[in-house]
Structure 1
Amino acid sequence: MGGTVKPLNPGTVASVVRYGLAADSLVHEATGDALVYSQLYPFEGLQNYTSGIIHHVRLQGLEPATKYYYQCGDPGIPGAMSAVHAFRTMPAVGPRSYPGRIAVVGDLGLTYNTTSTVDHMVSNRPDLVLLVGDVCYANMYLTNGTGADCYSCAFGKSTPIHETYQPRWDYWGRYMEAVTSGTPMMVVEGNHEIEEQIGNKTFAAYRSRFAFPSTESGSFSPFYYSFDAGGIHFIMLAAYADYSRSGEQYRWLVKDLAKVDRAVTPWLVAGWHAPWYTTYKAHYREVECMRVAMEELLYSHGLDIAFTGHVHAYERSNRVFNYTLDPCGAVHISVGDGGNREKMATTHADEPGHCPDPRPKPNAFIGGFLPPHFTSRHAPGRGVDPAADLQRLPGEQLRPRHPRGEERDARSVEMAQEPGPLRKRRR
């Protein structure tokens, strides 16, 4: 950090992972790439940042459902190798194998509430973690480290650009090491990862600190991609990149869904940051453009569950499509209560006087359309039913609702025979 910073040279340290089936037998070795990124501001008095060296190494040829031990670093430098850690690979892709537990979290941050969420998550020993955006909230701080629960309220009129305090990313990474060193985690961007800087550059930390199966899934983008875990095909979508039907993300989604074989991966699950359906005033219908562009396509392919964050509360809908209760629609689950420092959402949009006004001008990242026909209450029997099914189930990870109303465990073979296109669908 400082007014003038000089990036480290990533070529000075090797990127090596040694791994094997036993802690004392790390007989395989893989090498990868290293990088650094900077967060720079062309304004006097703001502190610039350049990261430490970030390493990315891909391990290939791993067996499914297998525990591997590993250590990483540069074996050519004394003391530059990590301790030995371990992780378990995902089960083989197929209709009768599933991760034992999947943890889904959004808006995690780095607060006292974060520790409670992470402790609960770790105690349930998940096999996979999905983080649906808003990672560490570095952009809730000025470059000098001064933070506030509401950035725009505290700093919006006094700074020439929305600042960030990038060391928060370093703190978050160190805190989460106990989780990420042993559990696979897939991440998609949220609005707090935008982090504008010099030259209108955005998402520098997000792009640099995480790895994505973008090439493998054919998206070639860090903002949207897909992957399989046992009998589940996951699609991670971008609420802060072009999602119009003429854009690259939509064209990729059409191709990705066309490749899905529901006899092999019966479950279709999606994740993105900002919810399409919520009863809360906060961010109410904020990404209506995205819903209008993509919902029909996902519905036609039998999307089972959509996980989102952004709204700082837990909420779960009935099956819904186009604001109508529909037994063939998806269940929408919002998990934006992970631990952020912006406080919880408590006011509902259907409370008298609390329905938000349409956005007055376009947003550079999520568009500007918000329908002008807001009502003070949801139409009966449509949309999200606040009284219908919004309670948290202890230890809940993946418990979608069957069209007839019964709940079944996603790990059971019985449930694996009931998802998506295997339900009777309107054509």
Structure 2
Amino acid sequence: MTLLIMITLTSISLLLAAADTIPTTLDGPFKPLTRRFEPSLRRGSDDLPMDHPRLRKRNVSSDFPEQIALALSTPTSMWVSWVTGDAIVGKDVKPLDPSSIASEVWYGKEKGNYMLKKKGNATVYSQLYPFDGLLNYTSGIIHHVLIDGLEPETRYYYRCGDSSAPAMSEEISFETLPLPSKDAYPHRIAFVGDLGLTSNTTTTIDHLMENDPSLVIIVGDLTYANQYRTIGGKGVPCFSCSFPDAPIRETYQPRWDAWGRFMEPLTSKVPTMVIEGNHEIEPQASGITFKSYSERFAVPASESGSNSNFYYSFDAGGVHFVMLGAYVDYNNTGLQYAWLKEDLSKVDRAVTPWLVATMHPPWYNSYSSHYQEFECMRQEMEELLYQYRVDIVFAGHVHAYERMNRIYNYTLDPCGPVYITIGDGGNIEKVDVDFADDPGKCPSPGDNIPEIGGSCPLNYTSGPAKGKFCWDRQPDWSAFRESSFGHGILEVMNSTHALWTWQRNQDVYKEDSYGDQIYIVRQPTICISREADEGREKSGGDKSRVSSITIPMFICIFFICLACTSRSIVFGHDI
């Protein structure tokens, strides 16, 4: 009994120590904090050259797979994608024949022993610019194979390619995620956005890989191929700038192939889920958009009841993810909204307690860049996310980091989601350093217009910013912001607690150094998702603070006190 008491006391002490060093959202709302850009650092860097060792093609034969990537399908199936053949850039380009090479994946639970084999489909796409002086592009052969029958939390070994060529990849391995359950979660979930291919991107991805994630979420803006002309020369320094004397916004599609090679050491071993950003639009003269994004990435659209690759959902253990499209119709009368409502209504919080939404542009953002750019989308969809008690919303677009206090409709709310902007992956457009509340940095309502969709700027009517478009200080809903490149790691501990850590790039060589760290705590007993009788969401939440750790702690205390009748033990710390 004495040993049991000592173990219990030690466990409680560790919990209390952790609570002392790392804050929780129950401690909020937090006083706004800003860490400004460190002037000794460069705001950005150029993209890596196409002949960089991490970007150039390494296979001697064009039949061998490259740009290998994994993506989740269902809890027991996985997409494997890769590219073969040589892409072509020129005035007159002839697409490769997808049927000229097979799409096979061999896989099994033992090295070199592939008991299971699957075949899939292949495709090619073209990016066409029928203008004088512009070059066209046709891709290599893009393969997608769905492998199924996977057991949870199991390591599999696989090879992909065409066995008859023969042209099979080297053996690679991955580990499957837990099945949906309130008691099982991915080891670590990495979040990153607005990557590009700069030296800063290299630092971000290397740092991310060192954290050994079991799942990666990229919140849009992948390659920045649209920063280049079709001949490969750099076009303009920012997406919002126009190409001088150009008939159309150009792209250099080989940057996509370079990005696939650059990411392969990660994506071939860890399932990586993506959502489209504005840099993926890539309009062609015929009006076609998002062609590269649509053809290169396999996502569980049909598996989640979506009719579009621009929005979908999936489960990762006890976490349900909804990936939202900001560059397709998001009106409450549209298909995406109807799909989202249906998807959220089917979520069983007893099985997947955590509900996480992801999109490219942030709804809450205190930087000058993209300030209130997607206010229309917020006004259309925020109520639905609040109604179903989404826990966290991740976004990118702004090239910096920001974490909000829990908020709904610009009002601090203990049952609102925690919004996090993580668009600081390292792209060529540099770090955003100006805040909308800085003197002279407040945009005009018409300055930030989205590439697709309307403009619905909001003039505040209450609070400290009454009658103004921008606050004159950091908004109360902005808990922490910093202009640095980096990435984030979410570690879900149980059905109510998740540890969020943002790691800035300049701390990559520092041990235990974090830019931002907090326990995100769900309060399901307070923030009830729906009334059982009418299926409606309760509006708002109780102001009381209850931690899920508190109840088991008091149980432990009860038994300890019962055993220790000769003395009393008093715990005066409330977590």
TM-score by length of 2: 0.69
Larger Rg computed on CA atoms = 2
**CA-to-partner distance for each residue in 1:177-214, whole Å, 9 max, x for gaps?**
10011000000000000000131000000001100100
Mapped pair 1:423 → 2:423: no
Show the counterpart of 1:175.
262
CA displacement at 1:378 relative to structure 2: 2.6
Show the counterpart of 1:409.
499
Show the counterpart of 2:113.
25
Show the counterpart of 1:349.
436
Mapped pair 1:63 → 2:158: no
Distance 2:139 2:457 in 1: 38
**CA-to-partner distance for each residue in 1:110-165, whole Å, 9 max, x for gaps?**
11000000000000000000001000000000001111562468762221100000
Distance 2:197 2:474 in 1: 39
Distance 1:399 1:284 in 2: 30
Instruction: Note closer, same or farther for the CA distance 1:346–1:210 as it changes in structure 2 (3 Å cut).
Output: same
Mapped pair 1:102 → 2:193: no
Show the counterpart of 1:225.
312
Distance 1:214 1:6 in 2: 30
CA displacement at 1:395 relative to structure 2: 8.3
CA displacement at 1:287 relative to structure 2: 0.4
> What amino acid maps onto 2:489 in structure 1?
Q
CA displacement at 1:61 relative to structure 2: 1.3
Show the counterpart of 2:557.
none
Distance 2:476 2:327 in 1: 24
Distance 1:270 1:417 in 2: 15
Identity %: 52
Gaps of 5+ in 2: 1-88, 461-466, 502-517, 529-537, 540-575
Secondary structure, in 3 states, of the residue corresponding to 1:397?
strand
Mapped pair 1:234 → 2:354: no
CA displacement at 1:368 relative to structure 2: 2.4
Structure number with the higher strand fraction is 2
Instruction: Note closer, same or farther for the CA distance 1:82–1:156 as it changes in structure 2 (3 Å cut).
Output: same
Show the counterpart of 2:360.
273
Distance 2:337 2:525 in 1: 24
Give the aligned length.
417
Q: Which runs of 4+ in 1 moved over 6 A?
A: 399-402
Mapped pair 1:52 → 2:140: yes
Are 1:231 and 1:267, in contact at CA under 8 Å, matched by a contact in 2?
A: yes
Are 2:438 and 2:472, in contact at CA under 8 Å, matched by a contact in 1?
A: no
Within 5 Å, give how 1:343-422 maps onto structure 2: 343-359=430-446, 363=450, 365-371=452-458, 375=468, 377-378=470-471, 384-385=477-478, 388-390=479-481, 396-398=488-490, 408-409=498-499, 419=522, 421-422=524-525
**Worse overlay, 109-118 or 141-150:** 141-150
Distance 2:492 2:418 in 1: 7
Gaps of 5+ in 1: none
* Aligned Cα root-mean-square deviation (Å): 2.7
> What amino acid maps onto 1:188 in structure 2?
I
CA displacement at 1:23 relative to structure 2: 1.8
Distance 2:241 2:488 in 1: 37
**Worse overlay, 151-160 or 242-251:** 151-160
Instruction: Note closer, same or farther for the CA distance 1:408–1:252 as it changes in structure 2 (3 Å cut).
Output: closer
> What amino acid maps onto 2:287 in structure 1?
N
Distance 1:401 1:378 in 2: 36
Show the counterpart of 2:102.
14
Secondary structure, in 3 states, of the residue corresponding to 2:105?
strand
TM-score by length of 1: 0.92
Q: 1:42 aligns with which of 130, 134, 140?
A: 130
**CA-to-partner distance for each residue in 1:3-46, whole Å, 9 max, x for gaps?**
11000000000100000011210121000000000000121110
